[in-house]
Structure 1
Amino acid sequence: MTIDLIVKNNLCTGCGVCISEDQSHQAKMIWNNEGFLVPSLGKSSTQDKMIKVCPFAIQQKNEDELGELFLKLPETQYHDKIGYYYGLYAGYSKQFRETSSSGGIATYVFNALLEQKIVDYLFIVKEVDGQYAYQFFSNVEEITQISKTRYTPVTLEKLFQELSKVDGKVAVSGVACFVKAIRLKQMYDPVLKEKIAFIVGIICGGLKSKYYTDYLAQEAGCKNEYNYAQYRVKNKESYALDYKFSCIEKSDKKIHMVDMQSLGDMWGTGLFKSNACDFCDDVLTELADISLGDAWIDPYDKNGLGNSIIITRTKIAENLIKNGLNKNLLALDVMNTEKIILSQNGSFNHRHKGLAFRVMKVNKEGKLTPRKRNKHMVNQNLLFNFVQNSRLKTRQKSLDYWLETRNHLKFKIKMKPYLENLKFFTLWNHRLIKLKKILLSKKDA
């Protein structure tokens, strides 16, 4: 498999780490027609070097193999779905919760990493002139500027281009595929283990096209150019899922908002999602030092200010959390493995249970897929496969129809039959699951 094949088979999530391995320095990241960042190669680009760090290449080590290499220690625990870990928690940061997404734990961790001199710089996504991009950051006083959720493509391309110029250690945040690419880079260049001293894993429901934001902006009422998109405007009087999207229209400087719940399920349907995400089986960013995500589980999802689940995977991460508890900076509960998995149940159902069908379907079409862990390649019932097939169509049609219409009203009309079809199969699959549980309980009785 080559970088060319990764791009042609729609398996690139735009991490950009491969650019640093191009010895010709001709490769660069560009926008493709579906609104995702992908590598553009030069005539002399060294693809044999570049493919070594691609998280979706067939020849790569998997997350279990890399986890054993980077995280396995005598004191760490291991779970088949969670990976290697020290501690499991849920809760929030008392200082950063109101100004951050979820429970503000990521902002607490970033702040602690700088204050305690564990790292000298953060390489994280922050707003620059109304746009989001990875930037080096070292100012503790401005820490709240980096505390918002962004559902728009970004790339690590700049990290390894500028890392050698940075004097000191760096912490990086990223979703699972970005984290895996960094670990692959560190595997081939062990010096980077010291330089990139800490990785914050952001638990991801799937990467969205840049057109997702355009759709939300139109739904909010921004008919012309806009900026300052905010994806998670909280309602502290309500519950965690009750949040809004907002943007500012450039022409009149007015803030426009839309209630996200009024738009339906933007995640379970796969709308505007990257194809590559359907071939990722790392739900909980297994290779990071610490993994953070929304606590979609009772009672944590009942609070509009948000709560986070936290998985510490290294001693440094565990000490950061324990120190925050000892200083009364964090309000956390200790969790068990079952609750952590339940908090991301939808993602596990899709990523793991539907994986075997998606790989089979795509391979039958003559397309390539990454090498996945056998433990997640489990065949499911026919109705569940209908759900997966319908979701694959819905995902692709959302990108096709947006490119065709560029209008939120026309888009919704065209998408309606696909969404209704997906809803139908999902409903009957849920009923089948419920029936099986009833029959099982009667049998046990």
Structure 2
Amino acid sequence: MIKIPKVIDLVVKNDLCIGCGVCVYQCPSNALEMKWNDKGFLIPEISGVCDSDGGCLDVCPFNPIPKKEVTTEDDLADVYLNDATKHHSKIGKYLGIYAGYSNQYRLTSSSGGLATYVFIKLLEENIVDYVFSVKDSTKVGVNYEYSIASTKEELLNASKTRYFPVTLATVLPKINELKGKVAIVGVGCFIKAIRLAQHKNPSLREKIPFLIGIICGGVKSRFFTEYLSGKIDVELENIRKPEFRIKDLNSTASDYSFGCLDEDDGKEKTIKMREVGDMWGTGMFKANACDFCDDVTTELADISIGDAWIHPFNKDGRGTNVLISRTNLSEIIIQDGIKKGDVTIENISLENILMSQQGSFNHRHTALKYRVKRAKKRGFLVPPKRHSNYNITNDFKLVQRYRMKVRSFSLYIWAKNKNSLAFDAAIKRKLSILGYLTYLYQRKKRIIKRIQRK
């Protein structure tokens, strides 16, 4: 009887794989390899003989049957974030909450440049010797991938946001060959996978002393890049160096563009994202696993960094970060940067950090119970979740249902016909229904708030 890796059987087949690739690193029999699936995501596939020891499942952030001591992010935080003196159910353990930017790297980064600043400080202060970050790939058909940086110059080449599937499987297998310590950047699920790997292999805790978490609105399929490139008339085979957050310094932070180099004519072409429509609230091209993630602020990282989508920072097209420190080392780096004048950072309130990610909290916390219940009714396995006790109104249930329809339909349609005009026509009706349902839901919320204020 052929043995099937447990992560394939219990996670991939349930459409809960996020592509982190830590299972590939963990597999003792080297039976897994990351491949592109028909939805434009990287997932593990069987490439060798499996011994079914279950190690691959132990490090999976969407493991539906986790060990008791690491059931949720809260359990892992109790192990790895002992410095943190404060806690909030929505953002996890923390020391400080800030907003600001790097004075040197702001304009060359997607937002405020603080992630780049922190990584460079980690190298300059010899806290780590290497950084695993995402940069341009030289592989055919792959725009970006994780790579190993050991110099400031290499890090500066990886200082932009990449809405493109990547996997840690390209770098983690090399970690034991590297002499020295490593810092890693990742979204919440990737950071959780690393913490689970540290739990299973305690030596990795010393080897990886620092994690930077990027606050994430959802992992996008490679179809997202293909679709946006099609909107600016770049053929799939000619896409080079896509940029997802091209700033408009004379406008607001959210008024950014997508652009890429067209290898056919050597020209860079761009389009304002506001011309494309809502690619985030609708869930288009998003991984299914993201609908079962309740970690909005990368709670398990040493430091969490995102965009300051709140007044007055959102009015500045140069970009501003929100930042949550969770360990003493992250606090030292922040305070030292302020003292030396390397960064412009101010304390913000808990209310402000919650407001900056309000849409994500509303979707991933408030509506989680509905999605979990619906998935279980259809026979899918779902990992234990912390924020699955909210009851939502029927109008919000309809919004959720249509977001899920739009998400899955967008992947299905693009796989059939990779033409942006045809795609827009095919999905138009579903987007119109979702837009109308969302309008009714938001209108009802506003009416209720007005009544409550009286």
Q: TM-score range by the shorter chain?
A: over 0.9
- The answer to whether the 8 Å contact 1:21/1:49 transfers is yes
CA-CA distance at 1:21 after TM superposition: 2.1
Verify: 1:112 aligned to 2:121, yes or no. yes
1:114-155 CA-partner distances (Å, limit 9, x unpaired):
111110000111113383110110111343211111000000
Verify: 1:21 aligned to 2:33, yes or no. no
1:348 to 361, 381, 404: 361
2:79 to 69, 79, 82: 69
Letter in 2 for 1:335: I
Task: Output the TM-score relative to the length of structure 1.
Answer: 0.97
CA-CA distance at 1:283 after TM superposition: 0.1
Name the residue aligned to 1:12: 17
Large movers: runs of 4+ above 4 Å:
none
1:338-389 CA-partner distances (Å, limit 9, x unpaired):
100100111111100110010111111111211111x443111111111000
**Alignment partner of 1:199: what SS?**
strand
1:223-250 CA-partner distances (Å, limit 9, x unpaired):
3522111111100010001111111111
1:213 to 217, 225, 229: 225
2:61 to 40, 50, 55: 55
Distance 2:194 2:77 in 1: 13
- The answer to whether the 8 Å contact 1:22/1:45 transfers is no
CA-CA distance at 1:80 after TM superposition: 1.0
Name the residue aligned to 2:252: 239
Distance 1:173 1:305 in 2: 22
2:52 to 25, 43, 46: 46
CA-CA distance at 1:56 after TM superposition: 0.4
Distance 1:25 1:216 in 2: 36
Q: How many residues align?
A: 440
Name the residue aligned to 2:439: 427
- The answer to whether the 8 Å contact 1:2/1:47 transfers is no
Query: 37-46 vs 2-11, which deviates more?
Result: 37-46
- The answer to whether the 8 Å contact 2:10/2:63 transfers is no
CA-CA distance at 1:333 after TM superposition: 1.5
Task: Output the TM-score relative to the length of structure 2.
Answer: 0.95
CA-CA distance at 1:43 after TM superposition: 3.8
Q: Which runs of 5+ in 2 are unaligned?
A: 1-5
Aligned CA RMSD, in angstroms, stands at: 1.2
Which structure 2 residues correspond to residues 24-35 of structure 1 after superposition, within 5 A? 24-35=29-40
Name the residue aligned to 1:84: 93
Distance 1:46 1:88 in 2: 43
Distance 1:46 1:134 in 2: 28
Distance 2:57 2:133 in 1: 24
Which structure 2 residues correspond to residues 250-265 of structure 1 after superposition, within 5 A? 250-265=263-278
Letter in 1 for 2:296: V
Letter in 2 for 1:329: D
Letter in 2 for 1:13: I
CA-CA distance at 1:189 after TM superposition: 1.1
**Alignment partner of 1:146: what SS?**
coil
1:123 to 129, 132, 136: 132
1:35-54 CA-partner distances (Å, limit 9, x unpaired):
00101023425351110000
Q: Which runs of 5+ in 1 are unaligned?
A: none
Classify 1:47/1:211 alpha carbon distance in 2 versus 1 (closer, same or farther; 3 Å).
farther
- The answer to whether the 8 Å contact 1:25/1:45 transfers is no
Distance 2:8 2:351 in 1: 38
Distance 1:12 1:228 in 2: 26
1:195-252 CA-partner distances (Å, limit 9, x unpaired):
0010000010000000110001111221352211111110001000111111111121
**Alignment partner of 1:29: what SS?**
strand
- The answer to whether the 8 Å contact 1:102/1:307 transfers is yes
1:335 to 334, 348, 352: 348
1:303-351 CA-partner distances (Å, limit 9, x unpaired):
1111000000000101101011001111111011110010011111110
